[in-house]
Amino acid sequence: MAKISEGLMAKYKPLIQEFSLMDDTFMSKVFEDKECAELVLSVIIGKKLKVINVKTQYGIENLHGRSIRLDIRAVDENGNLYDIEIENDQKRATPKRGRFNISVMDADTLDKNEPWNNLPETYMIFITRDDVLGGNKPIYHIDRTIKELNHQLFGDEAHIIYVPSKMQDDTELGKLMHDFNCKDPSEMYNKTLAERTGYFKNSEEGVSAMCAIMEQVRLDGEREAIVNCIKRIIFNKNLSPEKAMEELYIPKEEQDIYIELLKKSR
């Protein structure tokens, strides 16, 4: 890892101290660790799981429509898939988003002509700031049922789960949600999560890694804004991408970067 400048350390370290696991930039680094992902999933699902693969900020491209980026994508030893989304914005934790995420995950799972029955059991998990569903419950399980058969489970093995992080009590799940909202690792109940969050808040190596990520997020945000400006100029003035970039005084040596970003944004 490249050494982070003192200026970036001074800029970002105070912000890092304010992070909790409800901040997706911070959470994505913490849950690169399989043990942490396994712990959280085991508590939420309600049984001990063995995670064999975990990826954070995992993108799934949809060539015919909207793509998705999963906060956490995990696979257990039985091949079951888990998508965990951290949502502080109630509008981004809607039922139709859960439906869409599962559909894209399903499409990404099966190879061409592979049997439908090979689809894995899939869990779409929202950990939300507020009680989005409004039932004052610590957890909500949503599954398709058959009305005419006394709401017997349909059995498609696609599950959506909502966990409001403000619901904190003395249960294992309640303590986990407490830890998700903790800024200070020393106040966490779970030792595994405390050690991992402490590493990224207090160790020089961990803080440097977070600073590098935050600087990249800033850079990506700036580039996205510039790409949007280029697209507007192309549309409004009917110019080529190169001419649009000239109007924005983008240096020649950076133009290839924006050409690639324009291709990806179509």
Is residue 171 over pLDDT 80? yes
- Whether the per-residue pLDDT at 111 is higher than 70: the answer is yes
- How far apart, in whole angstroms, are the C-alpha atoms of residue 182 and residue 237? 50
Residue 201 has pLDDT above 60, yes or no: yes
Backbone angles phi, psi at 89, to 5 degrees: -105, 115
Kindly list the strands in the beta sheet with 122-128, ordered across the sheet, starting from the edge strand earlier in the chain: 51-60, 68-76, 81-87, 122-128, 158-164, 140-142
For residue 258, give the 3-state DSSP assignment: helix
Break the chain into its structural domains and give their ranges: 1-18+204-266, 21-181
pLDDT of residue 37 exceeding 60: yes
pLDDT band at 221 (very low <50, low <70, confident <90, very high): confident
Q: Tell me the average pLDDT of the chain.
A: 91
Note the pLDDT of residue 194. Answer: 97
Does pLDDT of 1 surpass 60?
Answer: no
The answer to whether 23 touches 85, Cβ cutoff 8 Å, is: no
Look at residue 266 in the predicted model and tell me its pLDDT: 61
Tokens representing 186 are: 């020393």
**What CA dihedral angle connects 87, 175, 53 and 67, to 10 degrees?**
-10
* 67 has pLDDT over 80: no
Cα 50 to Cα 20, 25, 162, distances in angstroms: 25, 25, 21
Kindly report, residue by residue over 43-54, the tens digit of the pLDDT: 999 999 999 999
pLDDT of residue 63: 63
Confidence of residue 113 (pLDDT cuts 50, 70, 90): confident
Report the C-alpha gap between 164 and 53 in whole angstroms: 25
Q: Could you tell me the two tokens for 74?
A: 């995990």
- pLDDT over threshold 80, residue 64: no
For residues 4, 9, 12, 16, the Cα torsion angle rounded to the nearest 10 degrees is 100
Mean pLDDT across the stretch 17-21?
94
Degrees, nearest 5: CA angle 128-161-47: 115
Tell me what pLDDT residue 190 has. 96
138 pLDDT higher than 90: yes
* Identity of residue 223: R
- Please tell me the pTM assigned to this model: 0.83
